[in-house]
Amino acid sequence: MPTIPTLLTFTVAATLLIIVPGPNVIYIITRGIDQGRRAAIASAAGVEIGMLFHIGAAVLGLSALVASSELVFNIVKYAGAAYLIWMGIISLRSSVSNLQAPEISRRASFSRLFTQGMIVNVLNPKVGLFFVAFLPQFIDPGRGSSASQILVLGGVFVAVAVMSDLVYAFASGSIGKWLNTHASIARQRDRFAGIVYIALGAVAAVSGSSSAKTR
């Protein structure tokens, strides 16, 4: 079990890293603007469940494998980038159909938003690299099982992430609600979302493993 000072230091450091917008946060914000607060919350829930995958991977040593193998890292990185770009293309195509037939609702269900948020996180290799490069600095072999310490620190990380993501979700949801009262702007939401997803996918594809943004 980590000491109280270690937990406090880790919490502060994790908070500083989490509040910097990365792929996960941008996904939540985009969904909130596009479909409102509840959609952003559903997306955030998926992101946090995806975080559990990375914690489990860190415990099992899979994150270390990804970090040490350029091939494995690139496979995961490009798969995540391709998924984001695919989401962007779908949003852009939906924007066209919305302008042609605005009476047809194409909004994604909460379960779909949850699943997409989980996939965005799981396919974000930088989160796994965070647990490899950053979290081990707070592991003390003299304090017992490393696996149990990873679980505790991972739990703290998720708790901080939940609070941060909810702030982003509520804020972006409010913006989305305002857009609903401005029809001419609201019609451009899908196009905006599509451009953001494609740009985010492109950045993820060309970014190196040294990036500090994990969220």
Domain boundaries, the chain: 23-206
pLDDT tens digits, 45-61: 999 999 888 888 888 87
Quick one: pLDDT band at residue 124, thresholds 50, 70, 90?
Answer: confident
Query: Taking 70 as the threshold, does the pLDDT of residue 181 lie above it?
Result: no
- The pLDDT score that the predictor gives to residue 48 is 92
Higher pLDDT, 208 or 88: 88
- Answer whether 135's CB lies under 8 Å from 7's CB: no
- The pLDDT score that the predictor gives to residue 59 is 80
- Lookup: tokens for 139: 């592991």
Q: What is the CATH number of domain 23-206?
A: 1.20.1250
Quick one: pLDDT band at residue 212, thresholds 50, 70, 90?
Answer: very low
- pTM score, two decimals? 0.66
Query: Taking 90 as the threshold, does the pLDDT of residue 44 lie above it?
Result: yes
- Taking alpha carbons only, the member of 196, 206, 144, 201 closest to residue 28 is 196
